[in-house]
Structure 1
Amino acid sequence: MRGSIVLLPVVGLFGASAAWAADVDLTELKASSPVPYYSAPSWSVVGSVAPTFTDNALFSRDNRKSDFYYEPDVSVRLDGNLTNDLSYRLYARAQYEAFAREKDGNAAVARVGARLTENWDGWRFSAIYENRYDFDGVYRDLAFTSHDVMGSVARDFRMNNVTLSPLLLVTYRFSDLAEARRWRFDALLGIEVKLDPKWSIVSTPLFEAFWFTDGLNRGRQDQIYSADLGVKYNFTSNVSLTTSVVYEARASNVAVRRYRDLRIGPRLDFAF
């Protein structure tokens, strides 16, 4: 536990979960198939497995190290409807990154949460609560616990073989670690161009802004810019493989927190 105690100020000052620099999951907020509100709630297991190469394993400005990492991400969900337009989701989610060489980059997150979504004229308005546990290493030592309160608006626009899925998300994080408390704004655009029933070209450019409110991070402001391009292959309606290239950069008023990162790799997505 001593290592975790030493790490706490470092995590809070420099990253407050740096391994998940851009961890908004568009699929978490995508449209659900409409079902009558009197239908029974349904269980599902949704996740992904992604072996990835990165040229900046430690999210560092000056100490760049290339490495491969393995990232499983699995959620168990209970979905149901309160009315024809109002749905809910209860979920538990586990996610970690395990590096081949740079073990200091290892990190893990466990979350339980609830989401309430109102569908109105094609728009989806969501209120979300997550109780989040961030770990040093792969579920080794608990670094800090957070309570995230979120609100989002999203919609899908379909034009022939092109689907555009914009999403806006605002979050405030309450945490037992003062340095992790912050406001966060996300704006992203999911793009899918279907080439045929199996193949698609996909991209999710995004912008994130952080305003830290307490502790040693008080006054810190970060912005993350990310662009990617990938090819997706659907094996079945619930299993797909996406290979993509992602470029990400963080600007900050704390100079040492600025970085850039290039990631390349496949991701297998599944839902059962």
Structure 2
Amino acid sequence: MRGSRIILAATSFLYVSGAVAADIDLTELRKVEYTSMSPTWSVVGSLSPTYTANALFSRDDRRGDFYYEPDVSLRLDGKLAPDLSYRIFARAQFEAFSREHDGNAAIARLGARLTKNLYGWRISATYENRYDYDGVFRDLAFTSHDVTGAIARDFSFDNVTLSPLLQLTYRFSDLAEARRWRADALLGIEVELNSKWSIVSTPFIEAFWFTDGLNRDRQDQIYSASLGLKYNIASNVSLTTNVIYEARNSNVALRHYRDWMIGPRLDFAF
């Protein structure tokens, strides 16, 4: 009974939801300079209490609810050469709903990344060993090995910064239904109003091609757009209030959904 429930939760929520925060760290959209060849430790994370209009990512059974999502990473960053940097990281996050506890989920990851700076572009290769849980670190639903290639760059025009990111991931997993290709295209937009305030937006498109199990030949596309106001509390702490609209289309009609979310997000780095 428990195994069936875990697989159901895994196939219906954990790896098919459109929540970009669960898979892409938005702080990666902007370039980070490492001036020293010596390794540097840091703790980076966010806390985001949010209202969602569709807590279970359902096509027909829409339920509004509030949830909070702590997301914390421990990082070791360094440089192998002036234009080649590395990162070793451990990251944990979860979503806990106030009423719709079937939507609770958690993820733990260990990974490493190499980034090459080439003609202003950042070209990265990342490996993650990922653990997805049903509930807040309650029952392990499945484990995965994600291999990702990405390319990103910043473009600045006066007070406007555009940060496009393209990446492609394949997931190896002990759960057949979780194995898939994933492509992401994001554009981070920040318009500085002054030294403290900015208008921010992150439109993105995701595409999934599932390769095994009951999800074989399934294809999903997720579209999202956001608009927010960011306040820089300090050089390493900011508060952003976002309104987000998200939609998923699929060749499995049951997987269609529409959602909108609103809430503040506190970002920090130490």
Q: What residue is the counterpart of 1:135 in the other structure? A: 133
Q: What residue is the counterpart of 1:260 in the other structure? A: 258
How many Å separate the matches in 2 of 1:11 and 1:101?
Answer: 17
Decide whether aligned partners of structure 1 residues 34 and 9 sit closer, same or farther in structure 2, where only a CA change above 3 A counts.
closer
How many Å separate the matches in 1 of 2:205 and 2:44?
Answer: 25
Decide whether aligned partners of structure 1 residues 246 and 70 sit closer, same or farther in structure 2, where only a CA change above 3 A counts.
same
Give me the TM-score of the superposition, normalised by structure 1. Answer: 0.96
Compute the displacement of 1:54 (Å): 0.4
Compute the displacement of 1:121 (Å): 1.3
What are the superposed Cα offsets for residues 189-239 of structure 1, whole Å, 9 maximum, x if unpaired? 000000000000000000000000000000000000000000000011100
Amino acid at match of 1:242: T
Decide whether aligned partners of structure 1 residues 29 and 92 sit closer, same or farther in structure 2, where only a CA change above 3 A counts.
farther
Counting only pairs closer than 5 Å after superposition, residues 194-209 of structure 1 correspond to structure 2 as 194-209=192-207
How many Å separate the matches in 2 of 1:131 and 1:229?
Answer: 32
How many Å separate the matches in 1 of 2:199 and 2:30?
Answer: 18
Give the superposed CA RMSD. 1.2
Contact 1:162–1:194 (Cα < 8 Å) also in 2: yes
Q: What residue is the counterpart of 1:161 in the other structure? A: 159
Compute the displacement of 1:20 (Å): 5.6
Give the secondary-structure state (helix, strand or coil) at the position aligned to 2:147.
Answer: strand
Q: Percent identity, aligned pairs only?
A: 69
Compute the displacement of 1:32 (Å): 1.5
Structure 2 residues not aligned, in runs of 5+: none
Contact 1:55–1:66 (Cα < 8 Å) also in 2: yes
Structure 1 residues not aligned, in runs of 5+: none
Decide whether aligned partners of structure 1 residues 166 and 198 sit closer, same or farther in structure 2, where only a CA change above 3 A counts.
same
How many Å separate the matches in 2 of 1:54 and 1:169?
Answer: 27
Give the secondary-structure state (helix, strand or coil) at the position aligned to 2:195.
Answer: coil
How many Å separate the matches in 2 of 1:46 and 1:20?
Answer: 23
Amino acid at match of 1:114: A
Compute the displacement of 1:25 (Å): 2.0
How many Å separate the matches in 2 of 1:29 and 1:177?
Answer: 30
Q: Which consecutive segments of 4 or more residues in structure 1 shift more than 6 A?
A: none
Counting only pairs closer than 5 Å after superposition, residues 122-271 of structure 1 correspond to structure 2 as 122-271=120-269
Contact 1:22–1:224 (Cα < 8 Å) also in 2: no
Amino acid at match of 1:90: I
Q: What residue is the counterpart of 1:108 in the other structure? A: 106
Q: What residue is the counterpart of 1:27 in the other structure? A: 27
Q: What residue is the counterpart of 1:98 in the other structure? A: 96
Q: What residue is the counterpart of 1:120 in the other structure? A: 118
Give me the TM-score of the superposition, normalised by structure 2. Answer: 0.97
How many Å separate the matches in 1 of 2:19 and 2:244?
Answer: 12
Contact 2:243–2:262 (Cα < 8 Å) also in 1: yes
What are the superposed Cα offsets for residues 150-196 of structure 1, whole Å, 9 maximum, x if unpaired? 00000000110000000001000000000000000000000000000
